[in-house]
Amino acid sequence: MKPFADRLDEAAVRSGSLVCVGLDPDTGRMAISDVAEFNRAIVDATSDLVCAYKPQLAFYEALGLDGLRALGETVQHIRDVAPGAVIVGDCKRGDIGSTAAAYARAMFDVWDFDTVTLHAYLGRDSVEPFLERADRGALIVCRTSNPGAVELQDLELTGGGLSGTLYEHTARLASEWNTRGNVGIVVGATYPGEMAALRALHPDMPFLVPGVGAQGGDVAAAARAGVNSDGRGIMISSSRGIIYASEDAGTFANAARQAAETLRDEINRALVGGATTAG
């Protein structure tokens, strides 16, 4: 299997898109009750419009064994109908030693995710089992969109020769760990200024960018701030704004397609002159 970063770049070129669809099944909002069927319809409707899909594991775990079975069926369906798309396991794992190794086996060998989100608060040994797989990716949570993020991420570092904020240091560590070219960071769309600064310091790392749509991030600003010199290297994720564009059983799939297409086009308009499309 090709290195993760290469496959992400190929997915963006092939689809002409930097959109990542978050597959977060909320049984209170889904247009139909069957999670796997709901996800299949979303994937079928959007497979030519996006570079990635991002199941958030909490939504599946909350449904027990039925939810986990639906997750497995969802991943397999993406492989079948959108084999070029990157699958992001949004699990935000982060533990030490044998536990981290078990998490890595689960995420990559059992669930077959191309890349996963990780917390690095426990240091390098908590993410090392994920870094060892050059064909898979590790997306380190760095600068997030939630209101409470500032309580830790904005802390100023002093002493030990360190400076700047904790999130800036997290990005530096991620860059140091990127010896196999398979490490990226998670940066919220609600902070385009910080994102631009991080991109300038880390020109080659992939960025996963949540926070557009329901969370209110500026799509155009995030796109311009986050892309690399090729006009790619970024996955802009929208979940609720796409999969719940309609909550009607007869229209939800088509509405999801329209929402994904609108987001793709909004991103590409912001990057006029970039290289997000093949040729």
d(CA 51, CA 134): 20
d(CA 5, CA 166): 25
Distance of CA 235 to the CA centre of its chain: 6
Is 92 an active-site residue?
yes
Which amino acid, residue 208?
L
Phi and psi based region of residue 112 (left: phi greater than 0; alpha: psi -120 to 50; beta: remaining): left
Return the residue matching tokens 């329209």.
258
Give the DSSP letter string of 121-181. TT-GGGTHHHHT-TTSEEEEEEE--SGGGHHHHTPBP-STT--SBHHHHHHHHHHHH-TTS
3-state secondary structure of 210: coil
* Marked catalytic residue, from 14, 92, 172, 180: 92
Q: Check: CB of residue 235 under 8 Å from CB of residue 207.
A: yes
Residues 6+ apart with CB under 8 A from 140: 117, 118, 119, 120, 127, 170, 171, 173, 174, 177, 183, 184, 185, 186
d(CA 253, CA 233): 28
d(CA 139, CA 90): 9
Number of CB atoms found within 10 A of residue 162's CB: 12
- Catalytic residues, which ones? 92
